Amino acid sequence: MSDIKKTGRRRFILGAAGAAGALLVGWGLMPPRQRLNAAHSLPVVNDEVALNGWIKIAKDGSVTVAMHRSEMGQGIHTALQMLVAEELDVAMAQVKTMPAPIDKIYGNLSMLADGLPFHPDDHGLIKQFAQWMTLKTARELGLQVTGGSSSVKDAWLPLREAGAAARAMLIAAAAKEWNVPADQCTTANGVVKHASGKQKTYGELAGSAAETKPGQIHLKAPAEFKLIGHPEPRTDAKVKVDGSAQFGIDAHPAGMLFAALKLSPVIGGKLKRVDPQPVLAMPGVTHVVDFSEAVGEAGVAGVAVVAKNYWTAKTALAALPVEWDAGAHARLSTESVFKDLAEKLDSESGFTYYKQGDPEAMLAQFKDATAGTSVKTIKAEYRAPFLAHATMEPMNCTAQLKDGKLDLWVSTQVPSIAVAVAAKVAGIAAEQVQLHMCFLGGGFGRRLEVDMVVQAVAIAKQTQGLPVKLIWSREEDMAHDMYRPAALARFTAALDAKGKLLAYENKSASASIMHQVLKRTFGLPGAGPDKTTAEGEFDMPYQIAHQKIAHVIVPTLVPVGFWRSVGHSHNAFFKESFIDELAHAAGADPVDFRRDLLANRKRHLTVLDAAMNKAGKPAAGRAHGVALHQSFGSVVAEVAEVSVQDGQIRVHRVVCAVDCGIAVNPNIIAQQMESAVIFGLSAALYGEVTIKDGKVVQSNFHDYPVLRINEAPQIEVVIIPSAEPPEGIGEPGVPPIAPAVANAVFKLTGQRLRSLPLKLA
C-alpha cells in the first residue's frame, strides 16, 4: 500500500479513536462479548428446555434452532441447521427452526467488518485494528441483518459453538448421572452413550443438562464432519411445494383490512391535496390515510385507501382525487444524471481507494503514444443504469396496533430495525412489538428497507385496533424502488511493445448507497468514503505495478439502495470488459492475459482454470467470453457461450467455477450460482430503469423484463474443494456474467459493448 493511502487511513481511524479518548481505547482492548447466551432465555413451550440462546430440546429429542437470518429463497435456514446438527450430533430430521427473538447476540458482525474499505492485500496493523473495533461495535449494535452474503460466514463459529456447547452439557449431565468421566461418553444421532452400554436420548437429558456446566467445548475438525460438506435437501422445500409456507403477503389475522397506496409520481414530490369523501362513500371502504408525515423527510409522500378487501381498496384508490406538488425535481432525467456524473469525473479527483507505484507519472509519460509506437495507451468509458429489484413478492406489511401493543407480519431482511422503526412510528417501546417473521418472496437488498413497515404502522394507527395489510402494486413497486445506482467509469492504461501492462488508472462516479441509507434508516448524516461505490475495482486481484483506483461520490435525488452484489454488479462489468480490451490491444488471448496478471494468485488461477477446463470448446457459430471476479470473499470465474442471432444476443451455456471456502451444502451453493447467473443475465440483457420528467418510466415486467425460461442457458457449476472457513455465496455469481457475455459478443461481432444493458448497434 502506498504511504499516502496508509497515512489517510491512519488519520481517519486514529482521529476517531482520539475523539473518544482513553475510554474508546480501553474498550477496544477488551474482547468482544459472547454470542452464546441471550439477554433472555429462548421462549419454550410444553416440555422444551433451552440450553443456550440458539438451541432448545424437547423430550422427544427434537431440536429447535433460533433462526436469526431471513429465508428468501437462498436456502440459508438449511445451511444454518446443518451447522448445529453437525456439532450437536443429531440428524437433520430432528432439527426444526423458530424465528430468533430480537437480541444482540444475533447481530451480523461479519457484514459490517467486510464493509471497511481496505484492500485484500493489506495485512497491516491499521486494518487489523479497524476490523477488531468494527466487530466489537457490531456486537454492541446487534443489528439482525440478512445481507452481504454473510449469513454462513457470520454464523460459522457461533452456531457451531452453540451446538458443541449443548452437546458438552448433555454429555456432562449423563456423566454425572452415571458417575463416569465425561470423556468416556460419546454421542450419535441424539443419544449419549457409555462403553458400559448405558445410553440416554437428548430429550431425556435436556432438563438436567440445562443445570450443568458444559466443561470443555470441542469443535469438530473438518475431517470429522458428517454433514458439513455434503449435499442435504432443503428443509424449506416441502412447505414451498405444498403451499403451506407463509410469506408476508399470506398473513391474515382475524378481522383484517386491506390497504392500497399511491405515492408521489415525481421523485421528491409532495402530497398537495387529497379529497377522501368520494371514495369513503364507496361500499367496503373504511379509511383514507395520508401517511406523508409518518415517513418524514427520508420517505416518500403518499396516501392509502383502506377497505374490507384488496380489490375494493385498489379500485377506490384509482378513483381517489389526489393532487401532487412535483417540486423542484420535475425535470430530472436519466440524461441529466449521467451528465452530472460525467461533469464530476471531469472536475473532481475523488477518493483514492487504492494506489500502488506511480501510475500518473507512467501514463503521463505515454499520453501521446499511438498505435505505431512501442507503447500503446488505451482509454475507455463504461456506464451502467439504475436497476430495480423486482422481487416476485411485492412490498407488503401487515400491522395491528391494539391496547398499546403492535403485532407486525412482514417479510424483512432487517427484523431488529423493522421492530425499532415500527415502535417509533407507533409511539410505543420496542418491547411492545411482536414480530411475526415470514418467508421472503425475494429480497435482493430491497427488503433491507423498512418503508413499507413505516407506512403499514402509520395506517394501522387509524384503524381502531383492527389489523391492516398494506400491499404495494407492481407499478408502485417499480416506480418507488431503492435502485442500484447509475454509474460511469473511465479507464486509462499503457501497454509496452510486448503487451505487458505498465500502468492502469480507473476513476468512476456514482451516488453513495451508504450515505442515503444512513439518513433514510438511521437519521444520520452520510459522509466519507463508501466501499460499495468502488468495490470490485479497487480490490481486484490483478497484480499491476502501477495502478490507481478512485471514485467520485455524486449525490442524486434518485433513491438508491443495496442491490444483489451491490457495487460489484457493475464494477465487475467495467473492470472485466476493460481487461479484455487490454488483452485484445496486446494481441494476447484474454485468458492468458489474465493468467499473467494472476501469476502469484494460486486461488484465482485454480478457479479460472477450472472454469476453462469445464467449458471446453464453444459449439460452431458461438464464442466463449470469460470473466473472473472476487466478491464477498469468494472467487468466481464464468465462461459464457454466446451466439448472435438476427441481431439478438443469445446465451446458451454458462460454466461457473467458485471457491467460497468450505462448501457447507454443495447443493445450495450450486443453486445459488444458478440463481445468480439468471438474475445477473436478466440485468445484463434487459435491466434498465430510466427517468423522464422526474418520473420512473418503467412500470411492470412488460417494460422491465426478466429472463424467460426459454432464454435460460444451461448452467454448470464447479465448486473448488477447500478447507478454509466459508465465504459469501448469495451474490458472487452475479458480477461476472455481464462482462463474460459482453466479451463473447466482441469475439463474435467486433463490437465492444461498454454500456448496460447489452445491445448491439
* Residue 179 CB coordination number (10 Å): 6
Residue 656 CA to residue 675 CA, distance in Å, equals 12
Q: Would you say residue 208 has pLDDT above 90?
A: yes
Confidence of residue 7 (pLDDT cuts 50, 70, 90): very low
Domain boundaries, the chain: 3-30+111-135, 49-108+143-239, 248-327+395-471, 334-388+483-749
Q: In what order do the strands lie in the sheet with 501-510?
A: 351-356, 547-553, 501-510, 487-495, 376-384
* 49-108+143-239 CATH pick, 2.40.50.100, 3.40.50.300, 3.30.365.10, 3.30.750.200: 3.30.365.10
Residue 77 CA to residue 82 CA, distance in Å, equals 9
Q: Which pLDDT does position 299 carry in this prediction?
A: 81
Confidence of residue 366 (pLDDT cuts 50, 70, 90): confident
Q: Which pLDDT does position 333 carry in this prediction?
A: 98
Q: One fold for both 49-108+143-239 and 248-327+395-471?
A: yes
Q: Which pLDDT does position 373 carry in this prediction?
A: 63
Q: Which pLDDT does position 30 carry in this prediction?
A: 73
DSSP annotation of 267:
T
pLDDT by residue (tens digit) across 531-548?
999 999 999 999 999 999
The continuous run of DSSP H or E covering 28 comes out as: helix 22-29
Angstrom CA distances, 99 to 159, 443, 467, stand at: 15, 17, 21
Q: Which pLDDT does position 28 carry in this prediction?
A: 66
Mean pLDDT of 33-61: 96
Strands 270-274 and 322-325: antiparallel
- Residue pair 681/707 in contact (Cβ under 8 Å)? The answer is yes
Residue 532 CA to residue 514 CA, distance in Å, equals 8
Q: Would you say residue 1 has pLDDT above 50?
A: no
- Residue pair 65/55 in contact (Cβ under 8 Å)? The answer is yes
Mean pLDDT of 92-106: 97
pLDDT by residue (tens digit) across 441-484?
999 999 999 999 999 999 999 999 999 999 999 999 999 999 99
- Residue pair 13/21 in contact (Cβ under 8 Å)? The answer is no
* Residue 498 CB coordination number (10 Å): 9
DSSP annotation of 568:
H
Peptide bond into 757 cis (omega under 30): yes
Mean pLDDT of 286-290: 97
DSSP letters spanning 702-714: TTS----GGGPPE
Q: Would you say residue 15 has pLDDT above 60?
A: no
- Quick one: which of 204, 106, 190, 195 has its CA closest to 155? 106
Q: Would you say residue 20 has pLDDT above 60?
A: no
Mean pLDDT of 714-738: 97
CA angle 238, 241, 247 (to 5 degrees): 90
Residue 109 grid cell: 458482525
Q: Which pLDDT does position 216 carry in this prediction?
A: 80
pLDDT by residue (tens digit) across 240-281?
999 999 999 999 999 999 999 999 999 999 999 999 999 999
Q: Which region among 27-36, 430-439, 737-746 has the lowest average model confidence (pLDDT)?
A: 27-36
- Residue pair 683/81 in contact (Cβ under 8 Å)? The answer is no
Mean pLDDT (the chain) is 94
φ, ψ of residue 43 to 5 degrees: the values are: -65, 135
Residue 255 CA to residue 249 CA, distance in Å, equals 16
Radius of gyration of the chain (CA): 27
Residue 332 CA to residue 337 CA, distance in Å, equals 8
Q: Which pLDDT does position 25 carry in this prediction?
A: 55
CATH code of the domain occupying 334-388+483-749: 3.30.365.10
Q: Would you say residue 16 has pLDDT above 60?
A: no
Residue 727 CA to residue 634 CA, distance in Å, equals 6
Give SS3 for 113: helix
Angstrom CA distances, 17 to 28, 126, 288, 401, 631, stand at: 9, 12, 50, 43, 29
Residue 46 CA to residue 260 CA, distance in Å, equals 40
Mean pLDDT of 376-392: 97
Residue 676 CA to residue 20 CA, distance in Å, equals 42
- Residue pair 672/680 in contact (Cβ under 8 Å)? The answer is no
Residue 592 CA to residue 602 CA, distance in Å, equals 15
Beta strands in 439-578 (DSSP E): 468-471, 487-495, 501-510, 547-553
Round to the nearest angstrom and report the end-to-end CA distance of the chain: 42
Peptide bond into 590 cis (omega under 30): no
- Residue pair 551/351 in contact (Cβ under 8 Å)? The answer is yes
Residue 384 grid cell: 451502467
Q: Which pLDDT does position 260 carry in this prediction?
A: 98
Q: Which pLDDT does position 369 carry in this prediction?
A: 54
Q: Would you say residue 609 has pLDDT above 80?
A: yes
Residue 57 CA to residue 202 CA, distance in Å, equals 7
What pTM, to 2 d.p., does this model score?
Answer: 0.94
**248-327+395-471 is classed in which CATH architecture?**
2-Layer Sandwich (3.30)
Residue 53 CA to residue 50 CA, distance in Å, equals 7
Q: To the nearest whole percent, how much of the chain has pLDDT over 90?
A: 91
**Sequence-separated (6 or more) residues with CB below 8 Å from residue 600:** 543
- Please list the alpha-helical segments (H only) found in 272-333: 277-280, 292-295, 310-319
Residue type, 248: G
